[in-house]
A and B are shown apart, each in its own frame.
Chain A
Amino acid sequence: GQQVMQIPQYQHVQEGEDFTTYCNSSTTLSNIQWYKQRPGGHPVFLIQLVKSGEVKKQKRLTFQFGEAKKNSSLHITATQTTDVGTYFCAGGNQAGTALIFGKGTTLSVSS
C-alpha cells in the first residue's frame, strides 16, 4: 500500500539554527499537507501543496512540493523555542480521500 516516509525522526537544534524535514511517498500524490503537533496537543493544519514544484512560505517556514509530486520538505529558518513540536506530512492519494501520515519529525530547540 501507499507509504509516506519522513526523516529525520528527531532533530535537536540551537535556537537560531535552521531545520528541515523531508517527506517521501512511494506513490504520486494529489496533494501534500503539513501539520504541527505540540506536546500533548493535536495536529494543527499548517498548509497544503497541490501543484508540481510548488513552493509556499509562511513567515520563517518554507514548504516545497517536488516536481514528481512524490516528495516534499519543510524548512524553518532561524528556529525559535516556539517551533518545538512534531511536524507531520500527510499525503493525499489521487482519489482525494484519506490522508496517509508520515511518522513525523520531532523538533526540539534549546536556547
Chain B
Amino acid sequence: GAVVSQHPSWVICKSGTSVKIECRSLDFQATTMFWYRQFPKQSLMLMATSNEGSKATYEQGVEKDKFLINHASLTLSTLTVTSAHPEDSSFYICSARVPSPPGPDTQYFGPGTRLTVL
C-alpha cells in the first residue's frame, strides 16, 4: 500500500516557539493531503485540507495564521505551528488522498507527530 511518512515523530518545544512538521508521500504523488489532530483518547479532528499549489482549506475554528500549511510539491506538505502554547500539545497526523478507482478515494495516514509544548 501507499506509504506516508512524517517528521519529526516527537518534538518538545518551549512556549512561544514555532514547530514545523513534514508529511511526505513516499511512493506516490498526492495532490491532496489532510492534517488532523488527536487529543488523548479522542478521535481525529480534521484541521485543514492541503492542496498542492494552492492555499489550504481550514476547518471552522482552526486559526490559519497559527497553523500554517504549505503544500509545495506533490510529495510534501508541511504544517507549522506558530507561537506554540501548551494547549497546542497534541498528536498531529497527516494523511494523503489516494485515488482508488472505480471507487472513492482512500486515505493513508502518516505515523503522526507528538508535540509537547512546555
Whether A104 contacts B43 in the complex (CB less than 8 A), given A43-B93, A43-B109, A98-B34, comes out as yes
For residue B49, which residues in chain A have a CB less than 8 angstroms away from its CB?
Answer: 97-98
| Nearest CB in chain B to that of A30: its residue | B104
Residue A25 at the chain B interface, CB threshold 8 Å: no
Whether A96 contacts B112 in the complex (CB less than 8 A), given A88-B43, A103-B42, comes out as no
- Counting chain B residues whose Cβ lies within 8 A of the other chain, the interface size class is 20 to 34
Digitize A85-111: 1 where CB-to-B-CB distance is under 8 Å, 0 elsewhere.
000101010001111111110100000
Minimal beta-carbon separation of A58 from chain B (angstroms): 14
Q: How far is the CA of A100 from the CA of B107 in the complex (A)?
A: 12
Most buried by A among B36, B60, B104: B104
Digitize B94-118: 1 where CB-to-A-CB distance is under 8 Å, 0 elsewhere.
0000001001111111111000000
For residue A41, which residues in chain B have a CB less than 8 angstroms away from its CB?
Answer: 111
Number of interface residues of A (CB under 8 A): 25
| Number of CB contacts from chain A to chain B under 8 A | 53
Main secondary structure of the interface of B (DSSP, over half): strand
Q: A45 near B111 (CB under 8 angstroms)? A: no
For residue A97, which residues in chain B have a CB less than 8 angstroms away from its CB?
Answer: 49
Q: How far is the CA of A94 from the CA of B103 in the complex (A)?
A: 12
Whether A100 contacts B103 in the complex (CB less than 8 A), given A42-B110, A45-B1, comes out as no
For residue A102, which residues in chain B have a CB less than 8 angstroms away from its CB?
Answer: 43
Digitize A36-79: 1 where CB-to-B-CB distance is under 8 Å, 0 elsewhere.
00000111110010100000000000000000000000000000
For residue B111, which residues in chain A have a CB less than 8 angstroms away from its CB?
Answer: 41-42
For residue A33, which residues in chain B have a CB less than 8 angstroms away from its CB?
Answer: 106-107
Q: B43 near A92 (CB under 8 angstroms)? A: no
For residue A45, which residues in chain B have a CB less than 8 angstroms away from its CB?
Answer: 1, 106-109
For residue A44, which residues in chain B have a CB less than 8 angstroms away from its CB?
Answer: 109
Q: A88 near B104 (CB under 8 angstroms)? A: no
- Of the A-B pairs whose beta carbons lie under 8 Å apart in the complex, a sample of 15, sorted by A's number, is A31-B103, A41-B111, A42-B110, A42-B111, A42-B112, A43-B93, A45-B106, A48-B103, A48-B106, A50-B103, A96-B105, A97-B49, A100-B46, A102-B43, A103-B42
